[in-house]
């Protein structure tokens, strides 16, 4: 499978690239800062400079074209509401429109579990949990889900549990 990652230099992006490359996929890693090219290359992906804010939908479509799937794990990551709006919001819309224009229908979005942070006081333990899940299970889940064609048009909430990722994906498909 050929995969275009948007947000390839990020925490999830780098871990996912390693998993995909290990199973034999060809991964293009989109990053916005040219200085991140080596980081992306070190994860096994082929670096490609692009910016969700500066690039047009047509430019994104050209970069996405020829891939089997897109994984979107870009984000402003707490750098301000404006950044969230233009990157996580508008940037996602542009990327999805670019993928549609390029005829790439397999699009995996790393989003946020809306209820997870809604329950009142900030909790250090939970923050740590989110960090740990982000560095392992999220990438592992995307790796497994991308290669399960029957898993389509679904929202999956990753929370916790002892079930191995591949088994969890298989159960989702059969449910
Ligand atoms: N995994 C979880 O548990 C979890 C929880 C909540 C939300 N999420 C979502 O998953 C995303 C990925 O998590 P992460 O830890 O990998 O985040 P991260 O390390 O901040 O990675 C996000 C990547 O997006 C890139 N990016 C930012 N603006 C961009 C733009 N305009 N064009 C192209 N790329 C751009 C960043 O590049 P720069 O280095 O140039 O900024 C960075 O490489 C988060 O942003 C969030 O939306 C994940």
What's CA 150's distance to the chain center, in Å? 19
* Tens digit of each residue's pLDDT (9 = 90 or more) over 23-69: 999 999 999 999 999 999 999 999 999 999 999 999 999 999 999 99
Is residue 74 lining ligand 1, measured as CB closer than 6 Å? yes
- The pTM for the full model equals 0.87
132 Cβ inside 6 Å of ligand 1: no
What's the gap in Å between 147 CA and the centre of ligand 1? 22
* Residue reference for tokens 């690039």: 55
> Nearest to residue 60, comparing CAs of 51, 68, 71?
51
Q: Name the 3-class secondary structure at 54.
A: coil
Q: How many domains is the chain partitioned into structurally? A: 1
pLDDT tens, position by position, for the chain (175 residues)? 999 999 999 999 999 999 999 999 999 999 999 999 999 999 999 999 999 999 999 999 999 999 999 999 998 877 777 888 899 889 999 999 999 999 999 999 888 765 565 566 666 555 554 554 455 578 888 999 999 988 888 888 887 778 888 888 888 888 8
User: Residue 73: which domain range?
Assistant: 2-174
Residues 6+ apart with CB under 8 A from 69: 1, 2, 3, 4, 104, 106, 107, 108, 146
Burial tier of 150 (Cβ tally within 10 Å: 0-12, 13-18, 19+): exposed
Pocket of ligand 1 contains residue 51 by CB under 6 Å: yes
Find the CATH number of the domain harbouring 25. 3.40.50.720
């Amino acid at each position: 499978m050929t995969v275009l990652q948007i947000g390839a230099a990020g925490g999830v992006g780098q871990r996912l690239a390693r998993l995909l490359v290990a199973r034999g996929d060809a991964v293009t890693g989109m990053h916005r800062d040219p200085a991140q090219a080596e980081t992306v290359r070190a994860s096994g992906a082929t670096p490609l400079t692009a910016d969700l804010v500066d690039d047009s939908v047509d430019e994104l479509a050209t970069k996405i074209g020829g891939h089997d799937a897109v994984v979107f794990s870009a984000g402003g990551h707490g750098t301000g509401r404006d950044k969230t709006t233009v990157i996580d919001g508008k940037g996602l819309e542009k990327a999805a429109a670019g993928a549609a224009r390029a005829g790439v229908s397999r699009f995996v979005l790393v989003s946020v579990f809306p209820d997870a942070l809604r329950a009142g006081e900030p909790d250090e333990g939970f923050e740590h949990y989110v960090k740990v899940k982000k560095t392992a299970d999220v990438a592992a889940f995307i790796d497994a889900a991308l290669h399960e064609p029957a898993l389509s048009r679904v929202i999956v909430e990753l929370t916790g549990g002892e079930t191995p990722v591949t088994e969890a994906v298989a159960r989702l498909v059969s449910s």
